[in-house]
Amino acid sequence: MKYFTYQVIGRGDVIMANTIKLADKKTHNFRFLATYVMAPVAHVMVYYVKEDGEVVANALDIELEGALQNFVNITTNSEETQPGTDVELTVEAKPNSYVGILGVDQSVLLLKSGSDITKDAVLEELRLYDSNLQTPYHYGFNFRGNALNYWWPGSATAREVFDSSGAVILTNGLVHEHFPWVYYRSVHVMEEAAVPNMPPAIEETAAFGSVAGATGSTEPAIRVRRNFPETWLWHMLEAGV
């Protein structure tokens, strides 16, 4: 190996790239400066071209802190108070920061939670900037909440190294590709067998008292509340210098 090229990819962009010449050595150490634009995950990809034209590549991922360059702290002059009493809020952030303050009654969270903006939610959004969410197994993913969990068995060839790092390679060299064999199991659905002396099936709506000829239900209809006047504070401000 006479040379190799490395690239550092973060948030879908090539942050750093360099080619290092070697004096016929098998091992070489190099370093680069980690920056916040690489966070939360930096893909470090290394490759070179052999004399016969084959592209050899490998990569690794580095978890980085510091994806969020700002901070916000909020304190009050009293943790418990009475209605009609003024409450003083102190918000601390970097100079000229645009800060949003939201105050809601806790009863609002009884309907559904998970709408708050958290640090983990922001980091997860940044991970979606990577363009490597691909898999040769088209049915190898499942849904959990609002996210997709792809099954990727690892990088076995140079093509998979580039794909898993979110990079596209254009070359007339030899880039090995792997075409996986995928086996599917058929799902047999058991049909409902007829049982003698059984009454006919009851319509699903019968459980709710809506069968033809039935009297109307005396229970009030369930209403989902959509108006929340408990949102008593909604204010946007800028931090001073």
pLDDT of residue 240: 79
Average pLDDT over residues 227-238: 75
Residue-wise DSSP of 143-188: EETTEEEE------SHHHHHHHTT-----SSB-------------P
Q: Contact 89/74 with Cβ under 8 angstroms? A: yes
Q: Does the pLDDT value for residue 73 go beyond 60?
A: yes
**Could you give the dihedral angle defined by the CA atoms of residues 19, 22, 28 and 30, in that order, rounded to the nearest 10 degrees?**
-30
pLDDT of residue 164: 80
- Is CATH 2.60.40.1930 the right assignment for the domain spanning 3-66+132-140+153-175? yes
Q: Does the pLDDT value for residue 147 go beyond 80?
A: no
Average pLDDT over residues 213-224: 70
Q: Contact 179/197 with Cβ under 8 angstroms? A: no
Could you read off the pLDDT of 194-210 as tens digits, one per residue? 445 555 544 444 444 44
pLDDT of residue 185: 62
1 — pLDDT class (breaks 50, 70, 90)? confident
Residue-wise DSSP of 32-53: ----GGG-SEEEEEEEEE-TTS
pLDDT of residue 199: 52
Interatomic CA distance for residues 70 and 95, integer angstroms: 10
Interatomic CA distance for residues 163 and 138, integer angstroms: 15
Rounded to 5°, the CA angle 190-192-194 comes to: 140
20 — pLDDT class (breaks 50, 70, 90)? very high
Q: Does the pLDDT value for residue 72 go beyond 70?
A: yes
pTM of the model: 0.55
Tell me the range of 109-113, 223-227, 236-240 where mean pLDDT is highest: 236-240
Could you read off the pLDDT of 100-135 as tens digits, one per residue? 888 877 777 776 666 677 888 888 888 877 755 554
Q: Which residues pair with 118 in a beta bridge?
A: none
Q: Domain residue spans in the chain?
A: 3-66+132-140+153-175, 72-130+223-239
